[in-house]
Structure 1
Amino acid sequence: MNVLAVGAHPDDLELQCFGTLALYAEQGHQVFAAVVTNGDKGNFDVEPAELARIREAEFRASCAVIGAVPIWMGYEDEYLIPSLKARLAVTDAIRQANPDVVITHGPSDYHPDHRYAGQLVWDALPLAGIAGVKTAHAAMDRQATLYHMDNFGGVEFRPTEFVDITGAMEKKLEALGKHASQLRIFGQLLDVDLRDVVRTVAKFRGYQAGSVYAEGFAKVEAWYRGLARRVLPTAEQPGRFVYRTGPSEPREE
């Protein structure tokens, strides 16, 4: 399959769905990671043009960790709106990947760039298969299934499906570690360790999913996009806990 994940900012996918993308890649699927904005407003002590350059380099290094194809769209951070120009740009990004599965932000996310990126993907998907809508890439030749990924910190998000990312957790953290500019600024300004956020949310979703670590998703239900099969990856060696009836401690399998 071809898999496309679309995030608003250069570290959004690493935070919310990179474990799943890593599993897709490990299982032989072609993974594309698209970022709509350039993240140029994210640090108070780096000028926007320089920060955009830094964050693009960090994003490309992160994609290399899992072997994803990066798609850098370059819209200004904090100013994203669902314009026709942006919709057509997202349409072209979707066509570049020609995906079977698309993952993006949901409508309950806290950041307007996140919500608008998700809206743009939703609006662009029907256009991506219409040959009369002209962009740089040809119309896609398949119907994609759309999933919303978790919100930051898991706030106000109810997953309908889970992916056991226990075996991909270290790659997810390695990829997030490439975003040094964001790790620094979150720690400096908010006293937040993004790696700890990722571990905590993945552990919590793991409790819900019956695994050590998991990522949660919600399938977007729409006409002609229903499936009778699972398309989210299944871990080859699930990280289950086995409980004994005696006094010994639970052990991880």
Structure 2
Amino acid sequence: MGMRILAVGAHPDDLELQCAGTLAMYVKQGHEVFMAVATNGDKGNFDVEPEELARTREEEFRQSCEVIGATPIWMGYPDELLENTMEIRLAFVDMIRQVNPDLVITHGPNDYHPDHRYTSQLVWDALPLAGVANVKTSRPAADRQVTLYYMDNLGGIGFNPTELVDITDTIEVKKAALAKHASQTDIFMRLLNVDLLDVVETTGKFRGYQSGCKYAEGFVKVEAWYRGLSKRLLPESDADSAFEYRIQTR
């Protein structure tokens, strides 16, 4: 039976950088994937006015979701200024109810950017409220509490995954989706001399070395009262099974 996967990023390219290979794996295996973005990315370029940049980044995000096969959710809060207010928390509750997911993926609480950390906190705070009927939003309460996963930090810095996903079969989809964010890949190269496509290639190989495959993405399952499940919810590939078999029969 197919699952509903909700991934929530702070900026229009965060999910592509950190977990798009896994999201593409879910789509490939017949699950329904939703990609939500909290902010509009309007402050990210010094030479483009915010209003114009927000339009560009939304269009790039929607094109990226099309590459992955995911449904886009654009929340549109101003870039660099996200806060964990009650108004925004309830908007996150409503967004979660819209999807009614089986699991949620978002930033870890120790990520480098305040928008990332606030997105993480907003998701964490909204998840229990999404199933409470007397917390009123435009949509009815979700019918269960949901397992939460934190995705890798950019470059794998300060992140120790507890579960890894083999994305060897979907690394090219991940890179194609990220490439749709031309306004962001261009500014990183011009300002920082950083090739974001190389970042995902290098980090993917690094996580792959840790997990016995060519490319992987890392996650931490959040252990909390009545949120966890005894079974694995992250996707497994045929390569995972083959590697396990080789280990067992050596």
Give 3-state SS (helix, strand or coil) of 1:86's partner: helix
The correspondence of residues 1-253 of structure 1 with structure 2, limited to 5 A, is 1-238=3-240
2:247 paired residue number? none
Partners of 1:135 and 1:166 in 2: CA distance: 40
Give 3-state SS (helix, strand or coil) of 2:169's partner: helix
Partners of 2:144 and 2:67 in 1: CA distance: 28
Any gaps of 5 or more consecutive residues in structure 2?
Answer: 244-250
Please report the TM-score for the alignment, with normalisation by the length of structure 2: 0.94
Which whole-Å deviations, capped at 9, do the CAs of 1:72-113 have from their partners, x for residues lacking one? 000000000111011011111111110011000011100000
Give 3-state SS (helix, strand or coil) of 1:143's partner: coil
Which whole-Å deviations, capped at 9, do the CAs of 1:142-188 have from their partners, x for residues lacking one? 22100000001110000000000000000000000100000100000
Which whole-Å deviations, capped at 9, do the CAs of 1:23-46 have from their partners, x for residues lacking one? 001111110000000000000010
Give the Å deviation of 1:228: 1.1
Partners of 1:236 and 1:23 in 2: CA distance: 12
Give 3-state SS (helix, strand or coil) of 1:72's partner: strand
RMSD (CA atoms): 1.2
Would you say the 8 A contact 1:39–1:55 is kept in 2?
yes
Give 3-state SS (helix, strand or coil) of 2:185's partner: helix
Q: In the comparison of the two structures, how many residue pairs are matched?
A: 241
Could you say if the C-alpha distance between residues 178 and 161 of structure 1 is closer, same or farther in structure 2, counting changes exceeding 3 Å? Answer: same
For 2:86, the aligned partner's letter is L
Deviates more, 1:127-136 or 1:41-50: 127-136
Give the Å deviation of 1:239: 10
User: Percent identity, aligned pairs only?
Assistant: 69
Give 3-state SS (helix, strand or coil) of 1:6's partner: strand
Please list every run of at least 4 consecutive aligned residues from structure 1 whose deviation after the TM superposition is greater than 2 angstroms: 236-241
Deviates more, 1:7-16 or 1:133-142: 133-142
Partners of 2:215 and 2:79 in 1: CA distance: 31
Which whole-Å deviations, capped at 9, do the CAs of 1:117-156 have from their partners, x for residues lacking one? 0000000001100111111222111221000000011100
Partners of 1:143 and 1:131 in 2: CA distance: 12
2:248 paired residue number? none
Would you say the 8 A contact 2:213–2:239 is kept in 1?
no
Give the Å deviation of 1:236: 3.2
Please report the TM-score for the alignment, with normalisation by the length of structure 1: 0.93
For 2:77, the aligned partner's letter is Y
